Chains A and B, each alone.
Chain A
Amino acid sequence: MAEKVLMKGNEAIGEAAIQAGCQCFFGYPITPQTEVAAYMSRRMPKVGRVYLQAESEVAAINMVYGAAGTGVRVMTSSSSPGISLKAEGISYIAGAELPCVIINIVRGGPGLGGIQPAQSDYFQATKGGGHGDYKLVVFAPASVQEMVDLVQDAFDVADKYRTPVMVMGDGMLGQMMEPVEFKERPKKELPEKTWAANGLRGREKHNIINSLFLKPEELEDHNNKLQAKYKEIENNEVRYELYNCDEEMDLVIVAYGTLARICKNAIKMLKKEGINVGLIRPITLWPFPTEAFEKVMDKTKNGFISVEMSCGQMVEDVALSVNGRKPVHFYGRSGGMVPTPAEVANRIKGIVGGAK
């Protein structure tokens, strides 16, 4: 077992990427993720790799496009408004089928919003953000350790499917400090990057990286190919945690990220009062863990509650998964307000009975 160290979430993201073989990092500072770039600026030159602070988020994501095109592992990082700026580039990267890792340490929005933690970029991350028929694989860690593990997995998933992967955490996850371990990772069998624009290397013709298709027939074929790939990801890459879901439940919470930890405490509080509540914690936000709902559908008396640090975004995917079979409730705070376990518990008592 590797030695545990104490790291801020943002620093741990940087170290995880370095250990996953990230060759280039392009970024631009924005609270609450600036420490990612700060960490990379200190460490990347020391390990002989590329760190570059771009002149803007738009420049940074296009540098990612360029580096990914040469077949190296590359990452960028930002927070909500910065991700909006990167959205055009992300669409191009998805269209050109390039692997890369994008970090979003979410703060309150819309607009410049605020700098306190939020989850209000769920729609942006899972439903597009940029234009066109593309999907981002979105990982949502709940602890600094899981952040490390998922950042490293993100590079593998990106390479495996030639697709951009986002790791999304709220500001809290970027700013908090927790013990972490950088585990020895088994070598994954990944396809060779024969498509990379890295010189001829014995090939007859240069590889071309492109997202422009002038013939509609070709663009439709390309879209169909992307959709087939997304289907494969949906089949293989869904991740979630079920917590306290073994017995009959009064209600099932659906929550992700650090908020899921708050909800777990709410569940413990409610248990003392004889109210049994389960938790579905999506770890992949896309593909959304619809199958998790099948496992608890018959065991929940009052259906589901989507608990979010947003005004109700994931609740739409919850409703789609439940598909009218049980009631779907919602509780959210926004703007950087983080609910306490007691607030969540009280809301649940309002639904299942026993409210103060």
Chain B
Amino acid sequence: MESRIRIFTGHFGSGKTEISINYAVNLRNQGKKVCIADLDIVNPYFCTRDEKEYLESLGIKVIATPKEMANAELGTIPLDTLVAFNDKSYDVVLDVGGDDQGAVALGQYNRYFNMEEYDMYFVINTTRPFTKDALGVMEYIKDIEAASRLKVKYLVNNTNLSYETTIDHILEGQKVAEEVSKLTNIPLRYTVVREDLVDSVKDKIQNEVFPIKIFMLPPWRKYLD
């Protein structure tokens, strides 16, 4: 049974925001009432809050620090994050900042997590130098669990090299993610694959493939049309 609250954590730069946005859009497409909260207190740029307009146009509630405050470098958590916990009519996606520093943002909501089930996903990208092998990944899982006071329930293989991603990268990452899964007994739930690569990779992966569209783009890739 899937929990109402989904949390995406992982090493800084593993792709949590892209997955969170896509996940929220998928839930919405299943006809659910969706709310996404940007709890990233680490990154100044390339955050869920940058896609607020688009997400709201789909009818998704976006909980995010207002733009003028987001640039104030206060490491602020949006005030209305409690809506995600209290209004149980929402299916919730929590996009959390990277590493243990980012996961700290979850600590204050501990009592809510004690009251209700949650699915915490740990996102793995093995092209990131510090999480290139199982040992590195497990170190981050340990640190993030300690900082958030929560337990990782599922692993996500999101191995990619941005616009240079090949099938080989995904499959290399898959090996590491499977090894982590074996060593930690945490199931590998999704393998994230950019939409255009899905067909050439789906037969090579046992678990569910999660196709994504990329949102966090610099201006020279974003407005090319």
Interface residues of chain A, those whose CB is within 8 Å of chain B, are 4-8, 11, 15, 31-32, 42, 114-117, 171-172, 175-179, 258, 261-262, 264-265, 268, 336, 338-342
Contacts and interface: CB of A to CB of B under 8 A. Distances in A.
In terms of DSSP, what is the predominant structure of the interface of chain A? mixed
B162 interface: yes
Interface of B: 12-13, 43-46, 71, 73, 125, 127-130, 132, 160-164, 218-220, 222-224
5 contacts: A7-B13, A115-B44, A179-B163, A338-B219, A341-B223
A177 B162 contact: yes
Given A6-B13, A115-B44, A265-B224, A31 B73 contact: yes
A179 B224 CA distance: 20
A172 B12 CA distance: 17
B13 A177 contact: yes
Contacts, number: 77
Given A6-B125, A116-B71, A179-B164, A172 B223 contact: no
Nearest to B220: A261
A15 B129 CA distance: 10
A326 B152 CA distance: 63
A4 B46 contact: no
B219 A5 contact: no
Contact of A179 (B44, B45, B162): B162
A-B pairs with lowest CB-CB distance, top 5: A261-B220, A6-B127, A175-B45, A340-B223, A179-B164
Contacts of B161: 4-6, 179
B71 to A, nearest CB: 5
Contacts of B219: 262, 338-341
Nearest to B132: A5
Contacts of A339: 219
Contact of A172 (B160, B164, B218): B218
A231 to B, nearest CB: 36
A7 B160 CA distance: 11
B127 A5 contact: yes
B127 A258 contact: no
A117 B220 CA distance: 14
Given A31-B73, A258-B220, A341-B220, A5 B45 contact: no
Contacts of A42: 130
Contacts of B44: 31-32, 115-116, 171, 175
Nearest to A263: B220
Contact of A176 (B46, B71, B127, B160): B46
A261 B217 CA distance: 13
Contacts of A31: 44, 73
A115 B220 contact: no
A11 B223 CA distance: 26
A171 B220 contact: no
Nearest to A32: B44
B220 A32 contact: no
A6 B73 contact: no
A4 to B, nearest CB: 6
Question: Which among B125, B161, B163 has the highest number of chain A CB atoms within 10 Å?
Answer: B161
B218 A258 contact: yes
Contacts of A341: 219-220, 223-224
Contacts of B224: 265, 268, 341
B95 to A, nearest CB: 16
B71 A114 contact: yes
Given A6-B13, A262-B220, A338-B219, A175 B71 contact: no
A15 B163 CA distance: 21
A141 B12 CA distance: 23
Nearest to B129: A5
Question: Which among B127, B160, B220 has the highest number of chain A CB atoms within 10 Å?
Answer: B220
A6 B218 contact: no
Given A6-B128, A340-B223, A32 B45 contact: yes
A333 to B, nearest CB: 11
B218 A176 contact: yes
A115 B129 contact: no
Contact of B160 (A6, A8, A11, A338): A6
Nearest to A339: B219
A115 B164 contact: no
Contacts of A268: 224
Given A4-B127, A5-B127, A6-B13, A175 B46 contact: yes
A36 B128 CA distance: 16
Contacts of A15: 129
Given A179-B163, A264-B220, 14 more contacts: A4-B161, A5-B128, A6-B125, A116-B44, A171-B45, A175-B43, A175-B45, A176-B46, A179-B161, A261-B218, A261-B220, A262-B219, A265-B220, A342-B223
Contact of A178 (B43, B132, B162): B162
A89 to B, nearest CB: 24
A114 B129 CA distance: 30
A125 B86 CA distance: 52
A6 B162 contact: yes
A61 B130 CA distance: 29
A114 B45 CA distance: 12
A4 B164 contact: yes
A8 B13 contact: yes
